[in-house]
Amino acid sequence: MADRRAVIVGSWQGRDRPTPQRVRSITDRWKNIFKEDRYGFRGLKQRKTPPILHNPTTTDLIDHLVGASRVTSDTELLFYFVGHSVSSGEGDIRLILGVDQQKLDRYCTLSWLLSTINEQTQIRKLVIVLDTCHAGRTLQQFRLSQANVFAMFGTGDTYAFDANFSDGLLRALERPIHKNDQRIDRRAGGITYNKIFEEARGRVIGGSAESDLDQDPKSFGDYGGTLLLEAPVSVPDEFNEFASNRTVYGRSFRLLEIIRDSNPTFRELRGAVEQDSIFMLRRDGERGQHYLSPERLNEYLDFLRKSDWVVQPSQRYTLTKSGQQATKRETFNRDLRYVIEEKVFSEGITFAFLDKIVMELLSDMIPPTPIRIKDRCAMKGKILKLDVATRVAIQLLPSTGRFLKGASDAIYPSALGG
C-alpha cells in the first residue's frame, strides 16, 4: 500500500458559516474514515491516525509539515481545508485559520502552504482539497507546483456554501463499493481521486440545481488518476440470468440443452429450433414467424464443435463429457470462458491480451470491431483468426462479463465481486 498521509484542517472562526457544529460534523466524519482504515491514511508525524486541526496556528501547520516522520518523495499527502478564505493578490487566497486576540484573522496563504511543503519536506505527491470560497482562482499556484498534484476546489471563483462539497466528498468516500459503482475507474482497477471528485461534484451540482446556489466545484492535476482503493472486477461463474434469451449467449445455452435431451439429427434440431420462441427472429404479420436460419444454426454448431462440447457420430448430435458439464447453470460462464480462450481463440490470444487491444483502440478513438481487433493483434505480432467460431465467441463475451463486443464501438465491463 502507498505511504499515504493526511492533515485535516477545519476552521469556523471569523465568519458565520460554516458553523462550528458543521465543521465538527465534517471533521468527525473524516475521523471515522481514518478509523476504518480503508484507504490507508496515516498522520505525518507519528504515522498513526491523521490529525484533525481545528482553528490551528501557522506554527501548528509548520510543526506537522516540517516535523513529519520518514517522509520520502513517494509519500502522498492529502491536505484538506474547510472554512473561510479571502482573495490575496492575483491567483492566491488566504486560508483563514482563526482569529487573534485583537479579533483579526489569522491566516496562511495557499502559496505559502505549497512552498513550505515543497521547500521543507520531501513530499512530491499532493492531493489538496479546498472547500472554501474562491478556491478555483488559485489554479496558477498548482500549475507552478513542482509536485505531482491533484487539487479539488469546492468552487471556482465564487462562493462555497456551508461545506456542501465536503459533504459530497465524504459521502463518496464513506459509501461501500456496490455493483455498477460509478466511482470505479475500470481501467485503473478501482476508485481514483478523479472519480471521488466527480461523485462529490455531482452531488453539489444536483443540490445547487434544487436550491439555486451557484456553486461549481473544479479540479486540476494529473495525479487524480491515482488509485485510491482497489476494486478489481470479477466475472461470475454462473449462467447470466439477466441476459436476454434471444441472444447468441442464451441461444447457445439452449442448443446445448436440446442436444442433451434429444440427441437430434440436424433436421430434428432445425425442427426443435422452429418450435422454440427463443430462436424466433421476428413476426411478419400474415406471413408468420421467422426463426433462426439453417446457415446461422450451422454457425452456432461450428462454435459448439470447436469448443469440444458437441460431436456428431452417426449423424446425430450428442454432448461430450465437457458439453454435459457446460449445461450446468452454476458453472456455465466459467466453462464458456475456458473453452473460448483455450480452444476457440488462436494460439497466444488471451482475454488479458484482447482487453489491452480493445483499450488501445478506444484510446486511439478507433471502434474495436472484430476486423480492427484482428489488425491491432497483428501489429502486436499475434494472429487472431476470425473464423466462424471466433466470431460467435466474440459475440458471447459481453454476456459473460468480458470486455469485448463484436461489431461495436463499446466495451462491457464486468460486475464487481463481493
Residue ranges of domains in the chain, CATH in brackets: 4-230 (3.40.50.1460), 248-400 (1.10.10)
- pLDDT value at residue 276: 93
Tell me how far CA of residue 393 lies from CA of 32, 278, 337, 405, in angstroms: 47, 19, 9, 10
Q: Which residues in the chain show pLDDT less than 70?
A: 179, 208-212, 233, 285-287, 403-418
Predicted local distance difference test score (pLDDT) of residue 404: 52
Quote the pLDDT of residue 62.
93
Helices (H), 46-181: 58-66, 110-120, 139-143, 164-174
* Helix (H) / strand (E) containing 396: helix 388-396
**Residue 234 CB contacts under 8 Å (≥ 6 apart), including other chains:** 414, 415, 416, 417
In order of 52, 220, 372, 395, the CA distances from 376 in angstroms are 52, 33, 6, 19
Q: Which amino acid is at 369?
A: T
Position 286 scores a pLDDT of: 66
Q: What is the pLDDT of residue 179?
A: 67
The predicted structure's pLDDT at residue 31? 96
